[in-house]
Structure 1
Amino acid sequence: MTHRIKVAGLQPVQLLAGLAGIAFIVFGVVGFTRTGVGDWAANSFVLGFSVNPLHNTVFVAVGVLGLLMALGSGLSRLYGWLLFAGFAALFVWDLMITGILAQNPAEQYGNPLAVNANDNWLHLGLAVFGLLLAVMPARRKLVEDEEPVVPEPRSEAFRDERDGSPRVEQMDPTVSTGPTAPITEPIPTGSARKDAARTEPITQEQAVVDPKTERVSKDKIKH
């Protein structure tokens, strides 16, 4: 019996990716209730985090992507890598926007997501969470494979009649299959026939009485 390792059902990484997707969608929808969708330059606060309509849209899109990629364990890990790369880059940009880093190559773009210091640490935490998803091991199980049953070899003399195969029988090696010479017997001549008829005994019932002598030869009667 052989053993092999197989991925077991729903993986924890899929569950976490799905929960993260739901959390992103909820956070984005709550942000829309604070900022609305009319003024994209306005910003508001949700649990101390600065948000605006663009920020909310990003969170909702990331949440929907998480729900879709949670359908497979491999896609869930890929989702983790995307979270790690995206929010790590956003964290570095946040440091430039908030002035923690002196140089800001993207200074001309301003602050389109209306981030603040709290958002910096939120994005860092999301990047770490994405990395954990990406490297999370799969839950596996040990599967036992039954060894295949080898059928017993059968004689070529015949096949089982149940499978519908034609029956094949072996020839007796002692029996010759070659042409046989015809058996001929000598045909008796006329005199031989008379002698055989004369000497062949007859039964008493078959005896014929000679009308002249009214006698039957006793030596012809078969007792």
Structure 2
Amino acid sequence: MARLKEGRTQVSGLQPVQMLAALVGLVYLAFGIIGLIVTGFGDFAGSTGSTLWVFAVNPLHNIIHIVVGVLGVLMAVKSSGARTYGWLLLVAFGVLLLWGLAVTGVFATNPVSGLGNPLALNAADNWLHLGTALLGLIIAVMPARKAAGTPGGTSDAGDRMHTARAPAEESRQPRGRKLWRRGTAH
């Protein structure tokens, strides 16, 4: 693998990781908006008994879904942002999964019993949070699928993307010296 000469790698074109992050963001955004229609804003952090399909929801829970959705859509603009979003999903929903497991009585003792259940979590939410955390891991480590290069124009393989050099020209040049052609550095 060739070394990258000028730092960060840039990928060209829309990456699958960006589409997946945007899709997850849109699903959470829609879920949050529909949830707010179901619950309204009354009893903001209480256990209202409202459900959306099999998931327990309250207004605070819905606002968190909307924030997660907006973050996903905004961070999907760049490939690096989409990957960061994946790590955020993994960590945040991993913590929510552990919280939900404690609240729903899966653990022998509930270490967060004094904090209550402000998000109205139930067993179905735990499965959703597990799936979202795993999806976040997939987003975070998904490889790039299109041509990649550094800001200076070299690809990951070390070849020039904009100007092609003949292999013979490269071999004739002493190490450390730059090849000049028509006033342009290569």
Structural mapping, 1:25-44, within 5 Å: 25-40=29-44, 41=46, 42-44=48-50
Which moved further from structure 2: 39-48 or 8-17? 39-48
Contact 1:80-1:134 at 8 Å conserved across structures? yes
Q: Aligned match of 1:146 in 142, 148, 164? A: 164
Q: Aligned residue for 1:190? A: none
TM-score scaled by length of structure 2: 0.74
Q: List, as ranges, runs of 4+ consecutive aligned residues in structure 1 with deviation greater than 6 Å.
A: none
Which amino acid is 1:133 matched to? I
Which amino acid is 1:21 matched to? G
Q: Aligned residue for 1:12? A: 16
Which amino acid is 1:105 matched to? P
Which segments of 5 or more consecutive residues in structure 1 lack a partner in the other structure? 152-223
Which amino acid is 2:56 matched to? S
Distance in 1 between residues matched to 2:110 and 2:163, nearest whole Å: 60
**Post-superposition shift, 1:105?**
1.7
For the residue of structure 1 that corresponds to 2:38, the secondary structure is helix
* Change over 3 Å in CA distance of 1:108–1:150 after alignment to 2: closer
**Post-superposition shift, 1:106?**
1.3
Distance in 1 between residues matched to 2:132 and 2:181, nearest whole Å: 56
Q: How many residue pairs are counted as aligned between the two chains?
A: 148
**Post-superposition shift, 1:149?**
7.5
Q: Show CA shifts across 1:114-143 (max 9, x none).
A: 111111111000000000000000113274
Contact 1:8-1:139 at 8 Å conserved across structures? no
Q: Aligned residue for 2:168? A: none
Which amino acid is 1:38 matched to? G
Contact 1:35-1:43 at 8 Å conserved across structures? no
Contact 1:98-1:117 at 8 Å conserved across structures? yes
For the aligned residue pairs, the C-alpha RMSD in angstroms reads 2.0
Q: Aligned residue for 1:125? A: 131
* Change over 3 Å in CA distance of 1:86–1:146 after alignment to 2: same
* Change over 3 Å in CA distance of 1:39–1:135 after alignment to 2: same
Distance in 1 between residues matched to 2:181 and 2:79, nearest whole Å: 37
Instruction: Give aligned-pair identity as a percent.
Output: 49
Which segments of 5 or more consecutive residues in structure 2 lack a partner in the other structure? 148-154, 156-160, 166-178
* Change over 3 Å in CA distance of 1:7–1:98 after alignment to 2: same
**Post-superposition shift, 1:150?**
4.1
Structural mapping, 1:31-110, within 5 Å: 31-40=35-44, 41=46, 42-110=48-116
Contact 2:28-2:69 at 8 Å conserved across structures? yes
Q: Larger relative CO (CA 8 A, sep 6+): 1 or 2? A: 2
Which amino acid is 1:17 matched to? A
Contact 1:95-1:120 at 8 Å conserved across structures? yes
